Amino acid sequence: MKASELRDLSIAELEKKLVDLKDELFSLRFQSVTGQLSNHMKISEVKHEIARTKTIIREIELSKNNTKSESIKITK
């Protein structure tokens, strides 16, 4: 999923996606250890997707905090 598509999701949806991706990574690692994984590049793709999702969540959190602090500065 592209970053622009992730930015359209809510924080709750992003956190759910993050949990799903972590479960998928666990499954892929397990398959790798048991020798059942055919595409080892899938592990790095899922890791990148996790990082991308965490980045978007952090951007949203920072933008919310930034707007709160701006509103406090304006009211003073």
pLDDT at 36: 95
Measured distance CA(57)–CA(66) in Å, rounded = 14
CATH code for position 60: 1.10.287.310
Task: Domain count for the chain, please give it.
Answer: 1
pLDDT at 4: 86
Q: Which of 45, 38, 57, 58 is nearest to 1 (CA)?
A: 45
pLDDT at 72: 61
Q: Where are the alpha helices (DSSP H) in 1-76?
A: 3-7, 11-34, 41-75
pLDDT at 76: 55
pLDDT at 17: 96
pLDDT at 60: 92
Give the residues of the chain that fall short of pLDDT 70.
70-76
Q: Domain range holding 50?
A: 3-75
pLDDT at 66: 82
In the predicted model, what is the mean pLDDT of the chain? 90
